[in-house]
């Protein structure tokens, strides 16, 4: 056995070191060292790369031309250290170079500062955390705190969702195994395993709901989902969770959503599902709704005690009747629009005319000074529509009032006909 292991280990070591070689024998023999240096510099590679080339070529008794390499590298690094390259480097969250020549370094660093500020926007922090990419700590001090909080939030949401998906997969496998159980003992064990998984899923779902409320800012939806799942109102707990990420809560929106979701939960079908899966009822229903839920819950509990399993799904509600207003800005955008890179500061903008020059057009496409051009659609439509006189308005108003009075009678007659 040892005779076989030693040759394999030697081959592995050779393969490892050969993989680190920067140049092959043919490249070392035909190398234009000025071009090699220029190529390394233009890609932002440090001048110390020459030592790696020297080590690779020493195996073939070839010595690099240091002077030619450094001359080429100086030209290449100047081509690399520009404003645009700095912006692209900062915009992808990479650290800036520290060895740009002194005369071009300010331009490069100016672009990097602009790019890294674009990188450190809040929406990008959430996306970065959700995608699982790392953070290099490159954000400036005035943006680092918020960026790190939202990055942690995105990361925690991703982890909570992944854990919840695993639980759902286990639940699905357990349900299939339960329906295919061949004996009473196996049926009993799987039934209790399913009940435990339901409890774990409920806790996992609560965490996902809380984190997604912090991320999206849609507290109404979070309250609706809690109410629909039979969870007692927990606006204070979610608010504490969101404060860990520097996000302010909307308790009123949560309460509105919870009441609507709770009205769906407090039904016979939900009670049957909860009892049959041995889920705890937390007393969130009242009055007639409580009695309906309890009848279903007692029947479901009886099925669980007698180890009778039927795959009842939790009732799925309608879409919440109220969502955040159209003007409400959610914390996280699913598909934020990418913005183009800014122009170099040296490219000054041309001074804009103040609108008094000859040939300047306004928003309606009409020449400001001479009145040329076609009138806008709003102007064309407004022509010929003069305001009606009071004598004409009065008969129109009477006809509208009469139609409003007759409409309820017509609807009532239609109902009687049906």
Tally of domains within the chain: 3
**Based on the domain organization, do 198 and 103 belong to the same domain?**
no
pLDDT score, position 338: 40
- Any residues with CB less than 8 A from the CB of 99 and at least 6 apart, and which? 46, 47, 77
What Å distances lie between residue 26 and 30, 45, 353, CA to CA? Answer: 6, 22, 62
Question: What's the number of CA atoms in the CB half-sphere (13 Å) around residue 149?
Answer: 15
State what percent of residues in the chain have pLDDT above 90.
48
Tell me the mean pLDDT in the region 170-181: 88
Which has the higher per-residue pLDDT, 175 or 207?
207
B/e letters for 150-186, b = 16+ CB within 10 Å, e = fewer, are: bbbbbbbbeebbeebeebeeebeebeeebeebeeeee
**Based on the domain organization, do 74 and 58 belong to the same domain?**
yes
pLDDT score, position 390: 47
Q: Is residue 328 part of a domain?
A: no
**Based on the domain organization, do 94 and 72 belong to the same domain?**
no
3-class SS shares of the chain: helix, strand, coil, % to 5: 60, 0, 35
**Which tens digits make up the pLDDT trace of 302-350?**
887 776 656 555 555 555 444 444 334 444 443 333 445 555 555 544 4
pLDDT score, position 127: 92
Q: Is residue 159 part of a domain?
A: yes
Mean pLDDT computed over every residue of the chain: 77
Position 278 confidence tier, pLDDT thresholds 50, 70, 90 = confident
Domain that holds residue 91: 81-119
- With tokens 């839920």, the residue in question is 293
State what percent of residues in the chain have pLDDT above 70.
68
- Any residues with CB less than 8 A from the CB of 344 and at least 6 apart, and which? 83, 84, 111
**Based on the domain organization, do 282 and 264 belong to the same domain?**
yes
**Which tens digits make up the pLDDT trace of 122-160?**
889 999 999 999 998 999 999 999 999 999 999 999 999
Q: Is residue 16 part of a domain?
A: no
Q: Is residue 324 part of a domain?
A: no
pLDDT score, position 364: 42
Which has the higher per-residue pLDDT, 404 or 37?
37
**Based on the domain organization, do 107 and 151 belong to the same domain?**
no
**Which tens digits make up the pLDDT trace of 346-377?**
554 444 444 444 444 444 444 434 444 444 44
Tokens of 416: 């009687």
* Of 207, 235, 206, 205, residue with least CA distance to 220: 235
What Å distances lie between residue 205 and 201, 225, 230, 238, 314, CA to CA? Answer: 6, 9, 12, 13, 14
Residue 55: pLDDT over 60: yes
**Which tens digits make up the pLDDT trace of 225-258?**
999 989 999 999 999 999 999 998 889 999 999 9
- Burial class of 261 by CB neighbour count within 10 A (0 to 12, 13 to 18, 19+): buried
Q: Is 121 helix (H, G, I), strand (E, B) or coil?
A: coil
**Based on the domain organization, do 288 and 195 belong to the same domain?**
yes
């Amino acid at each position: 056995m040892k005779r076989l292991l030693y040759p394999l280990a030697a081959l592995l070591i050779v393969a490892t070191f050969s993989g680190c070689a920067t140049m092959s024998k043919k490249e070392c023999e035909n190398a234009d060292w000025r071009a090699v240096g220029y190529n390394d510099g233009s890609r932002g590679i440090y001048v110390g790369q020459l030592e790696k080339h020297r080590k690779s070529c020493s195996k073939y008794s070839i010595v690099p031309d240091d002077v030619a390499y450094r001359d080429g590298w100086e030209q290449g690094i100047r081509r690399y250290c520009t404003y645009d390259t700095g912006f692209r480097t900062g915009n992808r969250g990479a650290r800036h170079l520290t060895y740009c020549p002194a005369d071009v370094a300010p331009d490069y660093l100016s672009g990097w500062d602009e790019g890294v500020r674009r990188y450190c926007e809040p929406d990008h922090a959430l996306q970065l955390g959700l995608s699982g990419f790392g953070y290099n700590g490159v954000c400036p001090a005035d943006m680092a705190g918020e960026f790190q909080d939202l990055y942690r939030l995105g990361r925690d949401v991703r982890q909570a969702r992944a854990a919840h998906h695993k639980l759902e997969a286990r639940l699905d496998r357990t349900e299939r195994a339960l329906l295919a159980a061949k004996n009473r003992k196996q049926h009993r064990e799987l039934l209790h395993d399913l009940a435990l998984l339901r409890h774990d899923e409920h806790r996992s779902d609560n965490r996902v709901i809380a984190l997604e409320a912090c991320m999206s800012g849609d507290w109404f939806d979070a309250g609706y989902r809690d109410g629909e799942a039979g969870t007692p109102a927990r606006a204070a707990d979610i608010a504490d969770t969101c404060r860990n990420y520097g996000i302010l809560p909307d308790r009123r929106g949560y309460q509105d959503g919870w009441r609507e979701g709770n009205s769906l939960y407090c039904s016979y079908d939900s009670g049957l599902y909860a009892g049959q899966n041995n889920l705890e009822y937390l007393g969130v229903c009242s009055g007639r709704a409580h009695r309906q839920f309890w009848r279903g819950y007692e029947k479901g509990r009886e099925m669980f005690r007698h180890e009778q399993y039927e795959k009842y799904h939790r009732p799925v509600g309608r879409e919440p009747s109220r969502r955040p207003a159209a003007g409400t800005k959610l914390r996280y955008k699913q598909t934020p629009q990418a913005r183009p890179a800014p122009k170099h500061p040296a490219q000054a903008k041309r001074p804009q005319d103040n609108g008094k020059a000859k040939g300047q057009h306004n928003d309606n496409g009409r020449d400001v000074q001479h009145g040329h051009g076609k009138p806008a659609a709003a102007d064309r439509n407004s022509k010929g529509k003069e305001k009606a006189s009071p004598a004409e308005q009065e008969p129109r108003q009477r006809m509208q009032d009469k139609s409003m009075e007759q409409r309820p009678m017509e609807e009532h007659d239609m109902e009687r006909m049906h």
